[in-house]
Structure 1
């Protein structure tokens, strides 16, 4: 009997975060029978981060959906050209074209509030404690403190680096626009979603809807998974 094979889900985090930023999504998806893993990488080089995402793809069954948040969108744009990937979900994310970097894409839009609350030290870009409100302002105070305490600082030149590959030109894409984002301009999000002809959803949230509006994000991931499911014979 033909059965619907659920795709694997690979989460790809942004800067000032790690795989735990998807902690409100992973248990539910696992309970629903999805194979789920969150890629972890050092935010040292763009090429190294993309390689880590591809290595993580090897730990799950194909086909797989990549779910990228923020800078993670740049990573899934490059890594998503891998033949094991059948779909891309962007969460308030960057999605550079072949001639763009994460930085050059953002430079086309007004600077957001968060960049007034950063400090460059030891070659890394750190988020100051008062900057977490720009990043995750719709979380509780307790959750915001946790986000700051666990944030991962990227290398200072990370956003100026580029890796070949523009997966959204050939793979189906879904995009969640965070309307109240103070980290990546919502207008930038709408621009890239429109450019990639993504199935687009908007939510009134900060930069981290997967933490503040997890049920909404889960519904979008389910829609993407259902769209790419293939009939398989056991």
Structure 2
């Protein structure tokens, strides 16, 4: 039996390479994998980029989103090719919410005090990396900073239709030491979507600091899809 395809969606201050500790293992285990390279220019174009990747792997597809990537898979995941969702320290706004209104319900985390906004783009300062990926070795933190993708300033205020977690089985990796997306928000959304939840003592980037944990969750989602 062909194994499910897997498509990744990255968040802010990242690109598709942030899943580099997961992709080779999943490929070796027989999955076709794609990681969306979206430009953080608008919610609509980012969703379209994720949907374009769905056509590049065999279905059914496990759609995996980190951080703002959770917003993307929530909307893109209504595509009939998507059979399961995996959220990694992620947002998951309903169709009447934006990423920003979603975040605003919870206490502000330290990372938001370490941003620059020149020319309408939001950049993470060097001082903010410890609040984003503080449990990585220093060399990896520097790589995270150097490869960051800067979103347009109003990206989190944009809205899209569709709420995939209302109809698709969901898994959630909850980062309990997160200083970017509040753990309180992660508890709220994982409970609201009735996700199978795995907690990990991690910064905002468990796919980099605890890849084995995240791989295990993705495998469980893929196995559930295969068994259907």
TM-score, normalising length from structure 1?
0.96
From 85, 109, 112, the equivalent of 2:109 is 112
The corresponding residue for 1:37 is: 34
The corresponding residue for 1:160 is: 157
Any runs of at least 4 consecutive aligned residues in structure 1 with deviations exceeding 6 A, and if so which?
none
The corresponding residue for 2:13 is: 16
1:190 and 1:12 map into 2 onto residues whose CA distance is: 21
2:218 and 2:227 map into 1 onto residues whose CA distance is: 16
Deviation at 1:6, TM superposition (A): 1.3
TM-score, normalising length from structure 2?
0.99
The corresponding residue for 1:142 is: 139
For structure 2, the residue ranges without an aligned partner over 5 or more in a row are none
Deviation at 1:134, TM superposition (A): 0.4
From 39, 63, 74, the equivalent of 2:71 is 74
Q: Which SS does the other structure have where 2:95 is aligned?
A: coil
1:188 and 1:131 map into 2 onto residues whose CA distance is: 20
Deviation at 1:55, TM superposition (A): 0.7
Structure that is richer in strand per residue: 1
Deviation at 1:60, TM superposition (A): 1.0
Highest CA radius of gyration, 1 or 2?
1
The corresponding residue for 1:172 is: 169
Q: Which SS does the other structure have where 1:122 is aligned?
A: helix
> How many residues are paired up?
228
For structure 1, the residue ranges without an aligned partner over 5 or more in a row are none
Q: Which SS does the other structure have where 2:111 is aligned?
A: helix
1:189 lines up with 2:186 in the alignment: yes
Q: CA RMSD in A?
A: 0.8
The corresponding residue for 1:85 is: 82
The corresponding residue for 2:48 is: 51
Deviation at 1:230, TM superposition (A): 4.7
1:164 and 1:26 map into 2 onto residues whose CA distance is: 29
